[in-house]
Amino acid sequence: MCHVNTSGARAITAPNLFGLSGRAAGSTPFKGSTALAKSGVTWNANSLDQFLQAPAKMIPGTRMVVKVPDANQRHDLIAYLLSLH
């Protein structure tokens, strides 16, 4: 609902998730949180798993508020996100 996920799509309320795998957090043209850009996180299966469990715990100051507590749902979501390339 917040993110777009196609190549070249304009991000309005949250970063475009296309090409997320291997990308530095906060490195898109979308003006997100400073905390995300300064986090030093590179998105991969492990970092996404940790982030999606508790975004603000991993990166205090992030604007991401949605958590995915269910491990199976998180696994499926991460597989989908990493397939967007």
Indicate if the alpha-carbon torsion angle 39, 85, 14, 44 is positive or negative.
Answer: negative
Q: Where are the domains of the chain?
A: 1-8+20-85
Query: Domain 1-8+20-85 sits in which CATH superfamily?
Result: Cytochrome c-like domain (1.10.760.10)
Residue 71's pLDDT is what?
Answer: 98
Bridge partners for 48 per DSSP:
none
As a whole number of angstroms, the distance between CA 72 and CA 69 comes to 9
User: pLDDT below 50 — which residues of the chain?
Assistant: none
DSSP label of 35: H
As a whole number of angstroms, the distance between CA 39 and CA 75 comes to 23
